[in-house]
Amino acid sequence: MQRFVNDDPESWLNAISIWKKLLELDAKKERLSQRDADPLKRKVGENEIIVAKKLKIEQTQKIEENKVCQLDKQIEEETQEQRDFITKREKLQGEEPREDVEKTTDTSHQHDVTFRELGRVIGIALMKQFGWKADLRNPNLEIFIHLNDIYSVVGIPVFRVPLASRAYIKTAGLRSTIAWAMASLAEIRAGAIVLDPMCGLGTILLEAAKEWPDVYYVGADVSDSQLLGACDNLKAAGLKDKIELLKVSVIELPLPSESVDIIISDIPFGKKFKLRKDIKSILQEMERVLHVGGTIVLLLSEDHYRCFRECKESDIPLNSKGSHTVAPGIQKHLDPEENTGLSETVLSSFEASNQECLEKMSPCGSLVPVECYRVSLGKTNAFICKYRKSLSSGC
Amino acid sequence: MKLLTHNLLSSHVRGVGPRGFPLRLQATEVRVCPVEFNPHFVARMIPKVEWAALLEAADTLHLVEVPPGPVQGYERDEEFLRKMHHVLLEVDVLEGTLQCPQSGRLFPISRGIPNMLLTDEETES
């Protein structure tokens, strides 16, 4: 880290100057909007969107990178993660301009670099190189450092508010950055029909509709209060014409089979949902209304995720034996709950071992797992899982 | 509820299956409001439209100038697209009912949101 500061002062100064320029743009924006000049407003608006987009992309890339590494580890080791996620601000001494160093450290047992040491090292290096002074109360510049076993990221936050805050969402449900990440994984294309069968306050649909406007969005929920909230959100965001709401149950969707192109949903966490049975019926219904080749992106809690893997493990004995001609009668005996007769034909088309881990996560015969990312929701972790509906018959 | 949505909905009362489509529309309160015309979007929706259902619903709402079907080269026919845009997206049923053609079950539409929750006896298991 020291070397990073000392060997490459130019990149630091470059980054700072870009950051300063962006801040100036921000200030200019405020002045312009007061003047209420339409063409100018639009131009500035565009810039804002570009910046926001870039950051969103960076953010999601970061999430994706981070979590893909973790996923690999998980598959290999299948042990519980030992990660300390620590955020700390630390005071240092120095001169102008004042800085505030904020660090997060992801450590495992091997390295044991504490945030204190890291903070000290960086702070001292910066002081020596640029003559900056640390100030905890009113810094000009905030430096953010993320260090884990695989890589380190040093950055300067551009926005003073959390990235997830949105001007157009009145009441947020799911964190907006996660919603956007899910939507971006779903391969939304113009003219698609996108369904969120448990939309709640509609956060996912709002994020998607803002980014991909040439699309038909439908949100569904069983709760009146949530639908009212969603309605308010849509009005506030000006998206009432792009998103339709239905009061329907996700296990009984009043839609013809294969009528929807994309499903994005946040599976409710919490004990109200009895894991195995409910999830199975939800997935069956989602799978039914989805077009072949369509994608499903789900946000799963740790429990649901574990359940998905366990569900499929009961089918694994079929696969490892390499026998694909087990009679339906025998299969039913192995797992009387699930209709595994059909899923067998899908399994037989997979390559044996390197797909086995992903197969473990396929909860439903014709839904092929594509990718899966671990994300942080603040206090808890969750998984964004993407599936595609293949040609073979359903659950 | 817009007519594009109505075009997608089908009854899922037990035993009804594909005969649950289309739902018969009855409206007591309708609002027509302008929606930004997006020709690309409308053009992409045209192949997905179930025309008979759409015409029936449009008829119930006494809409005029509804194209009876897709025309040759509709993707570039702005007049056609504008008419479809109006029918599919600018007519909003705020209050009314949807009726399953097979079982007769009525689903209310309230504040623009259709309520299609079924009781336990009615659901297909």
Span between the terminal Cα atoms of chain A, in Å: 52
Q: What pLDDT was estimated at residue A261?
A: 94
- What whole-number distance in Å separates Cα of residue A198 and Cα of residue A219? 7
B10: tokens are 């089908």
**Separation CA A234–CA A168 (nearest Å):** 9
pLDDT at A47: 39
Element (H, E) at A281: helix A275-289
Residue indicated by tokens 């909860």: A363
Q: What is the pTM of this model?
A: 0.65
Give the pLDDT confidence score for residue A301 in this predicted structure: 83
pLDDT of residue A388: 92
* Residue B43: pLDDT over 70: yes
User: Helix, strand, coil shares of chain A as percentages rounded to 5?
Assistant: 45, 20, 35
The CATH architecture one would assign to domain B3-118 is Single Sheet (2.20)
The residue among A279 and B42 whose pLDDT is bigger is B42
pLDDT at A51: 39
Kindly state the average pLDDT of the residues A345-354.
Answer: 33
Query: Which residue among B12, B36, B115 sits closest to A252, beta carbon to beta carbon?
Result: B12
Percent residues over pLDDT 70 in chain A? 45
Q: What percentage of chain A exceeds 90 in pLDDT?
A: 17
Query: What's the rounded Cα separation, in Å, for the pair A260 and A258?
Result: 6
Q: Domains in chain A, start-ordered, CATH in brackets?
A: 12-22+113-160 (no CATH), 162-311+363-394 (3.40.50.150)
- Do residues B35 and B90 touch, judged by C-beta distance below 8 A? yes
Question: Using a CB-CB distance cutoff of 8 angstroms, which residues of chain B are in contact with residue A251?
Answer: 123
For A149-197, the pLDDT digits (tens) are 677 677 776 666 666 667 666 666 777 888 888 999 999 998 899 999 9
Measure B59 CA to nearest chain A CA, in Å.
22
Size of the A and B interface in Cβ pairs below 8 Å = 72
A219 or A390: which leads in pLDDT: A219
Q: How confident is the model at residue A25 (pLDDT cuts 50, 70, 90)?
A: low
pLDDT band at residue A375 using 50, 70 and 90 as cut-offs: confident
Q: What is the DSSP string of A213-254?
A: -SSEEEEEES-HHHHHHHHHHHHHHT-TTTEEEEE-BTTB--
Q: Does residue B49 carry a pLDDT above 80?
A: yes
Can you tell me which residue has the tokens 């929606």?
Answer: B35
> Distance between CA A46 and CA A26 in Å, rounded?
12
Q: List B residues 16-55 in contact with A (Cβ-Cβ < 8 A).
A: 18, 20-21, 35-36, 38, 40-41, 43-45, 48
Helices (H), A102-201: 115-130, 176-185
- Considering only CA atoms, give the Rg of chain B: 15
* pLDDT for res A50: 39
Pair type for strands B91-99 and A84-90: unpaired
Mean pLDDT to the nearest integer, A51-60: 42
The SS3 of residue A389 is strand
pLDDT of residue B118: 85
H or E segment to which residue B98 belongs: strand B91-99
* Site of tokens 């045209």: B46
Say what the pLDDT of residue A355 is: 43
What is the maximum alpha-carbon separation in chain B? 49
* Angle, vertex CA A250, rays to CA A249 and CA A255, nearest 5: 90
